[in-house]
Amino acid sequence: MNQPDYGESSYVPKTLPRHIYAGHAGGRRPVNRRTLLTQTTAAFLGGQAALLGAPAAAAAEPAATEAGGLALKDFQPKSMLHVPETRVPRARFPLIDIHTHLTFAARNERGVPVSEERTHLAPTSELLEVMDHSNIQLLVNVTGGMGRGLRDSVQRYDRTHPGRFVSFTEPWWSRANEPGYAQFQADELAGAKRDGARGLKVLKVLGLYLRDPAGSLIPVDDRRFDPMWEACAGLHLPVTIHVSDPEAFYLPIDRFNERYEELNNHPDWSFHGRDFPSNAEVLAARNRMFARHPKTQFIALHVGNDAENLASVSECLDEFPNMHVDLGARIGELGRQPRTARRFFDRYQDRILFGTDATPHGNEYPQQLFGNALYEIYYRFLQTEDEYFDYAPAAVPPQGRWRIYGLGLPDGILRKVYHDNAARLLGLPAL
């Protein structure tokens, strides 16, 4: 891949753990090579010092402290790699971020939004400052709400700052078990479009939180939602849909889980055990729903909710022409498989949308913290061929202890991913 001219470069160290152990013998614990050399030298010098009548302690420094005394959460190694670091403060082309959360429902019950009122997470002046700095043309607030909340979001963002914000509506999940819901929800979408909504957002409420009166989870392909999907097709409202989480979230939280720290910090994110379906079952239900509604344009968020398995995502994209994907909160996965990811971008360059899943304020999700630092990492990943850098603005990698490599995408693909693919689905002009 030819590296484009993308900004200022300098050589700086990045982070790389270096664990060097001597081999095992007779079932004994591994020996740190540096400690072994220190102890051997001390013994030798100690003997020489004794012969000379000098104290052995003066001849050698104490052995190194055992590494076991350092808590993993405090481990922040400094890399000895000398590789280019390129700062990319602005996107090369005007950017549409298809996946941000500027508002949330003011009240939830067991993971299900139950109020029309919205909580607004940042003043628009703060958002616009970052947008202007980072060359962001448009933010899509996917959790724009419904009813009064949606109208408030549209007025606060879209109509007050035309051309800079777009709001999506959400289903009335709290009414899903009521008689006549299917037709009610389809009719509500028509009203939401009149109120200014430009798309529909489906959270993982569907498939992992929403339950019927008996307490059973309602699957993604439940027939009561068919009129909603068909209404989106007829109204030309694209659907951003998040129905699953990383595969590791469905596995035991143990020493083999690569996201152990993340899940240990947030055990409520785990879907292992209990009555939750497997990751494969959730995605299979989603795919059956995609197949039933070929005229509805679906944006399967988080790289199709399967960023660890791009071969599977590719099969879905090949099978469902109405499926698109965004990058939200998954460059940590894409960037650790750069050659596979680059081939994925080459092949599906017309169906990949830029998204971050960004949320203003808070420190729970550093890989999603809206701000210039977050966008610089995305731009660096997409525009440069830099090696081994952080995927989130955080001291400790929040999703897993690895780092990423840039793809160095050419301008033709960048223009589509940054802008034109999203513009097409939103009914906006291309660059």
pLDDT per residue as tens digits for the range 75-120 = 999 889 999 999 999 999 999 999 999 999 999 999 999 999 999 9
Residue 413 to residue 383: CA distance in whole angstroms:
10
pLDDT value at residue 20: 27
| Model confidence band, residue 68 (pLDDT cutoffs 50, 70, 90) | low
Q: How confident is the model at residue 67 (pLDDT cuts 50, 70, 90)?
A: low
C-alpha 384/C-alpha 374 separation (Å) is 15
Please indicate whether residue 40 or residue 395 has the higher confidence score (pLDDT).
Answer: 395
Nearest Cα residue to 91 out of 415, 427, 420: 415
Where does 198-347 show beta strands of DSSP type E?
200-202, 239-241, 298-300, 323-326
Confidence of residue 8 (pLDDT cuts 50, 70, 90): very low
Pairing of strands 323-326, 298-300: parallel
Per residue in 342-384, pLDDT tens? 999 999 999 999 999 999 998 889 999 999 999 999 999 999 9
In contact, 431 and 94? CB cutoff 8 Å: yes
The pLDDT assigned to 362 comes to 82
Predicted local confidence at residue 73, as pLDDT: 85
Give the Cα separation of 338 and 158 in Å (integer): 36
91, 136 Cβ separation under 8 angstroms: yes
Average per-residue pLDDT for the chain: 88
Q: Provide the token pair at 70.
A: 């350092």
> How do residues 234-248 score in pLDDT, each as one tens digit?
999 999 999 999 999
Q: Helices 310-319 and 279-292 sit at what angle, rounded to 10 degrees?
A: 20
The candidate with the shortest Cα–Cα distance to 306, out of 254, 374, 249, is: 249
Residue 337 has pLDDT above 70, yes or no: yes
Question: Quick one: fold of 85-426?
Answer: TIM Barrel (3.20.20)
Alpha-carbon gap, residue 398 to 73, rounded angstroms: 11
What span, in angstroms and rounded, lies between the C-alpha atoms of 287 and 285? 5
pLDDT (mean) for 316-337:
98
**Per the structure block, which two tokens stand in for 335?**
């960037």
What is the structure's pLDDT at 27? 37
Whose tokens are 């906006």? That residue is 428
Share of the chain above pLDDT 70, in %: 84
Task: Reply yes or no on whether the pLDDT at 36 is more than 60.
Answer: no
DSSP string, 146-166: STHHHHHHIIIIIITSTTTEE
What are the sequence ranges of the domains in the chain?
Answer: 33-74, 85-426
Q: How much is the average pLDDT of 57-79?
A: 67
pLDDT for residue 59 is more than 80: no
Residue 80: count other Cβ atoms within 10 Å of its Cβ. 10
In the prediction, which pLDDT does 364 show?
A: 84
Token duo for residue 60: 């050698």
Q: What is the pLDDT of residue 427?
A: 98
Give the 3-state secondary structure of residue 107.
Answer: coil
Q: 178-232, pLDDT tens digit by residue?
A: 999 999 999 999 999 999 999 999 999 999 999 999 999 999 999 999 999 999 9
Q: Are 356 and 378 in contact (CB under 8 A)?
A: yes
